[in-house]
Structure 1
Amino acid sequence: MINMSSFNFNIPIFLALLVATMAFQCSATEHVVGDNDGWSNPRYPEFYAEWASLHTFNVGDSLYFNFIEDTHDVAEVPQEAYDQCHTEGVKIIIKIGPGAVNLTSSGAHHYISTHEGDCETHQKVAIYVQPSSV
């Protein structure tokens, strides 16, 4: 049997830390890239830029790329590869859709589909992730 009196345990501080931790975990948002359109060849060139401008991304959130298996993929790339649709040698992070990417660092993040012609038809999204406030 454990003698609880031997622990130096401050219940109000413990509860405050527990609530703060739960609030942080519950505040994470899953963003469905492209909303109802999903991750596909966009209807017009500015589609994903407009979609990104309507959302606030924070460390701890995730991006959900909704696409049918073998139709597209997702690679996180440097801005230069994003701008030039450079797909050679990039690391694909989601090969089989749908799938999610956890946003673990703040700053600019660039994602493209490496399937032939996808990036050139503007199937790419650039986001800015806000730093964690905790």
Structure 2
Amino acid sequence: MASGTAVTSKILKNVLFFSLMISVISYQFEVGEETGWVRPTGNEPETYNEWAARNRFRIGDTLYFKYQKDSVLVVNSADYLNCNTSNPISKFDDGNTVFRFDRSGFFYFISGQSGHCKSGQRLIVRVMHPSEVESPVSSPSPVPSPAEAERSGGDGGWDSDDWGPPGISSTTRLTVASYFMTALAGILVILYLFM
């Protein structure tokens, strides 16, 4: 009986270990963040594609689509460009869709509701090839050109009114979360090895 408990304990430790390793490797992105997957009204701070351009997607990451009375269609590039809903690769309509990236390359998503895609409810995601994945080290932000600084209303220098720290991007949050999860996984591996 005692050996059965030891085997069960060992199995549970292995399951915990591998679950933690998978969670360290992948990240879930929430499409549309607070508003979710909805038809754009024109008052949004950014489009779905602008949001995607701010993020770095890797194999194993997931997209979470939250929506009501709508659907998410995975389509090819031509159907994306033409908002063609008649031939999707995959269709989801459960209101809480989690889509996992299983390869690198481009993924194309559109709404299945009539007129929504043409209104901007569509998304292109580029998943990085493993050879492109860098260690999670932040690089410095590019310095705006004088023309860009002029367009934004200042030079961004000492005479600027913008004295606060830069905003935290989702890439920075992902980097911090990756460091934390890696450290946590390392501690658990050490504990596992010495138990």
Give the letter for the 1:37 counterpart.
T
Residues 75 and 112 in structure 1, CA contact (< 8 A), matched pair in contact too: yes
Q: Name which of structure 1's ranges 102-111 and 25-34 shifts more when overlaid on structure 2.
A: 25-34
Higher-Rg structure is 2
Residues 73 and 114 in structure 1, CA contact (< 8 A), matched pair in contact too: yes
Q: What is the percent sequence identity of the aligned residues?
A: 28
In structure 2, the residue matched to 1:51 is 51
In structure 2, the residue matched to 1:42 is 40
- The alignment partner of 1:87 has SS state of coil
Equivalent runs, 1:61-76 vs 2, <5 Å? 61-68=61-68, 71-76=69-74
In structure 2, the residue matched to 1:8 is none
Equivalent runs, 1:1-134 vs 2, <5 Å? 22-44=20-42, 47-68=47-68, 71-132=69-130
TM superposition shift of 1:35: 1.0
TM superposition shift of 1:23: 3.9
Change in Cα spacing, 1:116 to 1:60, as seen in structure 2 (3 Å) is: same
- Per-residue displacement from partner, 1:63-86 (whole Å, max 9, x unpaired)? 000112xx2101111111000101
Give the letter for the 1:122 counterpart.
G
* Alpha-carbon RMSD: 2.7
Residues 76 and 89 in structure 2, CA contact (< 8 A), matched pair in contact too: no
Residues 73 and 92 in structure 1, CA contact (< 8 A), matched pair in contact too: no
- The alignment partner of 1:83 has SS state of helix
Give the letter for the 1:48 counterpart.
Y
State the aligned residue count: 117
Q: Whose helix proportion is higher, 1 or 2?
A: 2
> Unaligned stretches of 5+ in structure 1?
3-18
Q: Whose strand proportion is higher, 1 or 2?
A: 1
The TM-score, its normalising length taken from structure 1, stands at 0.75
Q: Distance in 1 between matches of 2:32 and 2:78?
A: 22
Q: Distance in 2 between matches of 1:99 and 1:128?
A: 19
Q: Distance in 2 between matches of 1:77 and 1:90?
A: 5
Residues 42 and 48 in structure 1, CA contact (< 8 A), matched pair in contact too: no
Change in Cα spacing, 1:91 to 1:78, as seen in structure 2 (3 Å) is: closer
Q: Distance in 2 between matches of 1:23 and 1:91?
A: 30
Residues 75 and 87 in structure 2, CA contact (< 8 A), matched pair in contact too: no
Q: Name which of structure 1's ranges 50-59 and 85-94 shifts more when overlaid on structure 2.
A: 85-94
> Unaligned stretches of 5+ in structure 2?
4-16, 134-195
Q: Distance in 1 between matches of 2:67 and 2:56?
A: 22
